[in-house]
Structure 1
Amino acid sequence: MSWLGRSFGSSQQGRAEYGLRPAFGPSLPSWRQIRLLPRILTAHEKRAALSLIILVVFGGLALSWRLYEKSTTVTPQIGGEYKEGVVGNPRTANPLLATSDADLDLAFLTHRGLFSIDDQGKITEDLAESWELSPDKKTYLIKLRSGLHWSDGQPLTAADVVFTFASARQEKLASPLAGSFRDITITALDDGLTTSFTLKEPYVPFLYALTVGLIPQHIWQGIPFEKWLQSEASLKTVGAGPFRFNSLTRDGQGNIYNYILESNPYSYEAAPYFKKFSLRFYPDMPSALEALRQGMIDGLGDLSSQDKTNLNPNRFIVYDITLPQYTAIFYNPNTNNALKEAAIRQGLSYAINRPDLIQQALLGQAQPAASPFTFGEFKTKTNTQTITYDPTKTIQLFELAGYSRTEGDSIFKKGDQLLEITLTVVDNEVQLRVANVIKQQWEAVGVVVKIQPVANYLLQSEVLTPRNYQALLASEVVGLDPDPYPFWHSSQVAAPGLNLAQFQNREADQLLVEARQMFDESARLEKYANWQNILRQESPATFLYSINYSYAQNYSVKGFSRSIMGQPAERFWSADGWYRRTTRSRASK
């Protein structure tokens, strides 16, 4: 008789000796029989049996895990600490005084405004519960959520709203937001929750201005405006954000290198998953990147294309976030006679090969820009024509402006005057790479180019405020409702205005004023299309490219969900939903 491949004969004695029954019998093997298997199986049969057992065990485990996964869900858990790396050093966490990225990062984590921006870039209520707009489009009634408190437990009311925006426009405070609220009547209604904002003229993007964080009247009202920045409350801040101040640490030179936040128990939102949120400040990007690689921090933003390639993709995830910004060359006709002529400015624009520039200087990590509008319908429905690479057109325009080249001389001249331009650029690796490609492309069409690097900390005082440049390579972040008025209206040519190209045109000014008052989107876009036609003819700047904001996080951190933002600090608007710890719980039916 054969059982499991071994022959034993047919005698009862043989069966009794081994305790076996015929394979065709009605009974299953007993435990005694199973224990004898190793003695009667061949080596090959033992390996096969072991493989079968392993397969059954692991198959069962896999099936059990699949059933467990299907019947449960991953749930974030509260706990742990998140560490963000920031290049720079903060002066303040007060949102009315924040100017640098480091300042704004602190302000966004510790404060909340009446409105915020959702993951799709749309305006949404934050501390505000509801709002109404009058038929003439000039008065906004905005009602707070009931029961709001500051991070020190004090009530947050409409009086705080009025105090915030009335303070922002005070000349002694010198807030960068002053212009946004200067001509607005702001009144708190008797219910203690509702605030009235009355504008002189309709202004379509007004709600975006109300995303700035509110500040508590009971903290700031006793401090003179000119001393706000130096006050203790400037950094040991009280706000209404998801996190509140815990502690800070300074180095021997007095610079902050660690700023620790904790969960705000008085926030109207659900408690953040991370109980602590630290910001660690670094003097430059290389040192911050090294800290990220060493695991000293969990996240770091504003990465260049080269920075991204140097990160281990198995440890970090890099988010490329749409940021409404553009990089351009701004021409100052007041410091270079050649730049007074539109034909020269146009010729310089036609001489730029944007795809080649992006590939050489930015490793292809940018999109060509043809105007101040870089995304959405503002881009697709207003850019009716573009200036593309055409060096032949450049030469024609230079000649039209009265410049020429003699035989054997590659440089354009008008009389004894060379066509010569100094290009001012921030002294960092990426900007210098871009500037050098521009220099090559301009020199190829007969322009003498000098690059003038300037340290970032001197840019404002020595270059922007005195308008001390001939051509300036710079980037401008224009916001999710990209109103060009602050950057291109003639009223903004002097500092602190942002009209870096010193562009002045009455017709263009009128179009900008009319467009920002139009709630009819089609009519507004038509105004901007007409404005761009003027901008193209005058060419006060050469638009180069727009680049996404690249943000890296350790793979262990979950919950980041922002795909578009108006400024880099807005990456923190979802920080209360970030987490590392998880558990599994039964899925609800």
Structure 2
Amino acid sequence: LEKISEKALRFKLKNPSAVFLENCTVKIIPEKLWKGVSPQNFPLTGQNLKPIGSGPFQLKSLNLNKTGEIISLDLVRNSKYSGVFPNLSQITFRFYKSEGALIEGYQKGEIQGLSLTSLKNLEWQKKDFNLYLLSLPRYFAVFFNQNPPAGGSNVLSEKGVRQALNYGINKEEILKEILDDRGKVVESPILPEIYGFKTPTKIYEFNPEMAKEILKNAGFVATKNGKLVKIIKKEPAFQFKSNLKLGAQGQEVKELQKCLAKDPEVYPEGEITGLFGKLTAAAVIRFQEKYKKEILDPQGLEKGTGDVLRATRTKLNEICFENPEEKIFLKFSLTTVDQPMLIEMASFLKSQWESLGAEVELRTFDTSTSELELKFEREVIKPRDYEMLLFGEVLGAIPDPFPFWHSSQKKDPGLNLASFENKECDKLLEEARKSLDEAERKEKLENFQELLIEDAPVIFLYNPDYLYLVSKEIKGINAKIITSPSKRFVGIEDWYIRTKRAWH
């Protein structure tokens, strides 16, 4: 960092960065007040209650409850603001513990503007409020954890399974039934419709028959109750492989004697010596004649020979050693937070996958308070303690998928929630970050999206509209695309309430 003048400075980077400019939009804070506070403690410090800034409004008062939680804060015009002087003289922000409490406050007429995750089952007066549908660069998706926690399902490590589960979801129905058509279906990690990229060539359109075919080709079959399972035959720990006859000795002879001794009619003496003697030869003859159809008849023999050759070995291996089986059920858990829209979404996904033959367990976590939200991050997100995660990710003003999909971000504090790893994708993300050529950067990211979609570490679902209800009294709101929820207040200087003229 180099100081050029009292009002200018220069950043010198180790590597070129196309996304660094967005880092410069992080608000500047006074060193003398914050230098003793570590970044992880920023949300907890009392300095947050003493804001310093140069915007169009300034803090007038802050109201706390008995436990020290903020109930409301009042802002008034900043008389020293250097930009366009705001029309509104005062703004009050009210804080509610839950969306239910927020809706109750709205219904009581306590507020003139609010944001909700859904308007479903909410009666709002169109005559009194305008609904603004703002576009935010974010998406909700199901992330497949390919490095599941201990005891978790490894079935999601199979690419075919992940692709089948993609084909098994009707995203258009999600948009219609759960989002009331307020949003867009998402097929890519780089949101082409927002950032102007090409749409991906591969799209997982709803096709349950295709999903079933992929699962069938992957070796899954239906059980009596309709659930899918893949049975993998494994080689036993020991099998007879050598020709054995009178005079042979060693471990394989011992195993032969143990095997024959399991049937008293075949080897009544039951001696385990490791030496192929007359008693063992006689036992082999009795074994061969007991299974004459499989061993002797194909060779045109009437009596046993006492020699252990291919046909006898095959039958011995079949009789003496069970072929172990590994059963892989199409079974997994889906984790999400306890929010009405996400709970409804999780239930919808569960239903669609179960129609394919999967078994799905839903895990939900309460995040209604900041403490519970931190607990969810600490106990679920950071250790990647989930098999599948229904969650949302917010991108920035400059598209940069690196934090979400580069393999270096698989562990906390990285945001690679699918534990995705692909060397070619890593290279493209690194090159895109460094390139200052917009066309080259665009090409790199479009190639990255094709590789990631083919590998299917995720099911992209939808980008919901940011729902912002504002009283019709308030005019001058022109926002359409915002990069974060707080950006809905960009241009607040132009907001106004029409008042009647007074003549004196």
TM over 0.5, shorter chain: yes
CA distance in 2, matches of 1:351, 1:193: 57
Match of 1:331 among 128, 135, 144: 144
Task: Quote the offset at 1:325 in angstroms.
Answer: 0.7
Contact preservation (8 Å) 1:378, 1:525: no
1:572 paired to 2:493: no
1:514 match: 431
Give a deviation string over 1:51-75, Cα, whole Å, max 9, x none: xxxxxxxxxxxxxxxxxxxxxxxxx
> Of residues 126, 131, 135 in structure 2, which corresponds to 1:322?
135
Aligned to 1:155: none
Equivalence for 1:486: 403
Q: Which residue of 1 aligns with 2:394?
A: 477
Which amino acid is the alignment partner of residue 196 of structure 1? R
Aligned residue number for residue 362 of structure 1: 179
What letter is aligned with 1:412? L
Contact 1:320 1:548 in 2 (8 A): yes
For the 8 Å contact 2:405–2:420, the answer to whether it is kept is yes
* RMSD over aligned Cα atoms: 2.1
**1:284 aligns to 2:195 (yes or no):** no
Confirm whether residue 417 of structure 1 aligns to residue 328 of structure 2: yes
Are the counterparts in 1 of residues 88 and 493 from structure 2 also a CA contact under 8 Å? yes
| CA offset digits 1:33-54 (Å, max 9, x no partner) | xxxxxxxxxxxxxxxxxxxxxx
Instruction: Map 1:496-507; keep pairs closer than 5 Å.
Output: 496-507=413-424
Q: 1:260 aligns with which of 46, 52, 74?
A: 74
- Given the alignment of the two structures, is residue 310 of structure 1 paired with residue 141 of structure 2, yes or no? no
CA distance in 2, matches of 1:388, 1:223: 49
SS in structure 1 opposite 2:25? coil
Say which SS state the counterpart of residue 345 (structure 1) adopts.
helix
Larger RCO (CA under 8 A, 6+ residues apart): 2
Q: Which whole-Å CA distance do the structure 2 matches of 1:411 and 1:343 have between them? A: 17
Work out which of the residue numbers 469, 473, 480 in structure 2 matches 1:556: 473
Amino acid of the structure 1 residue aligned with 2:54: A
- Tell me the equivalent position of 1:93: none
2:287 aligned residue: none
- Tell me if the contact between 2:190 and 2:445 (Cα under 8 Å) persists in the aligned partners: no
- Aligned partner of 2:346 in structure 1 is 435
The answer to whether the Cα contact below 8 Å between 1:318 and 1:551 also exists between their aligned partners in 2 is: yes
| SS of equivalent to 1:343 | helix
| TM-superposed deviation, 1:345 | 0.8
- After TM superposition, the structure 1 stretch with the greater mean CA deviation from structure 2, 528-537 or 427-436, is 528-537
With over 3 angstroms needed to count, the CA separation of the structure-2 counterparts of 1:478 and 1:297, relative to structure 1, is: same
Partner deviation per Cα, 1:395-449 (whole Å, 9 max, x = no partner):
222233332224x442110233321010011112111111111111101111101
Counterpart CA distance in 2 for 1:438 and 1:500 is 19
Please list the CA deviations of residues 192-224 of structure 1 after superposition, one character each: whole Å capped at 9, or x if unmatched: 111101222222232222222211234434667
What are the ranges of 5 or more consecutive residues in structure 2 without an aligned counterpart? 232-326, 368-372
Taking the aligned partners of 2:481 and 2:192, their CA distance within structure 1 comes to 10
Cα distance per residue 1:102-153 (max 9 Å; x no partner): xxxxxxxxxxxxxxxxxxxxxxxxxxxxxxxxxxxxxxxxxxxxxxxxxxxx
Spell out, residue by residue over 1:338-366, the C-alpha distance to the aligned partner (whole angstroms, 9 max, x if none): 01111111111011111122222222322
Q: Which AA in structure 1 matches 2:468?
A: Y
Residue aligned with 1:329, SS: strand
Q: Quote the residue 2:441 is aligned against.
A: 524
C-alpha distance after superposition, 1:15-43 (max 9, x if no partner): xxxxxxxxxxxxxxxxxxxxxxxxxxxxx
> Aligned pair in 2 of structure 1 residues 296, 412: CA closer, same or farther (>3 Å)?
same
Q: Is the 8 A contact 1:258 1:280 kept in 2?
A: yes
Counterpart position of 1:298: 112
- Helix, strand or coil for the counterpart of 1:319? strand
Q: State the match for 1:391 in structure 2.
A: 208
Deviations 1:521-569, CA, capped at 9 Å, x for gaps:
3322221221122112211100111111010100111121110011111
Question: In the superposition, relative to structure 1, how do residues 384 and 480 fare at CA in structure 2: closer, same or farther (>3 Å)?
Answer: farther
Shift of 1:312: 0.6
Cα gap change, 1:477 to 1:228, in 2 (>3 Å) = closer
Partner SS for 2:480: coil
Change in 2 beyond 3 A, CA 1:303/1:473? closer
Amino acid at match of 2:413: P
Alignment partners' CA distance in 1, 2:42 and 2:99: 30
On the 8 A contact 1:424/1:451 being kept in 2, the answer is yes
Aligned residues: 397
Give me the whole-angstrom Cα distance separating, in 2, the residues matched to 1:223 and 1:444: 52
TM-score by length of 2: 0.74
| Gap change, CA 1:364 and 1:504, over 3 Å in 2 | same
The structure-2 alpha-carbon separation of the partners of 1:356 and 1:204, relative to structure 1 and needing over 3 Å to count, comes to: same
TM (normalized to structure 1)?
Answer: 0.64
Deviation, structure 1 residue 378: 4.1
Structure 1 residue identity aligned to 2:383: P
Gaps of 5+ in 1: 1-185
- The percentage of aligned residue pairs carrying the same residue is 34
In structure 2, give the amino acid aligned to 1:413: V
Report the 3-state secondary structure (helix = DSSP H, G, I; strand = E; otherwise coil) of the residue aligned with 2:497: coil
Check 1:420–1:491 CA distance in 2 against 1; reply closer, same or farther (3 A cut).
Answer: same
1:449 is matched with: 360
Question: Within the alignment, does 1:426 sit opposite 2:337 as a pair?
Answer: yes
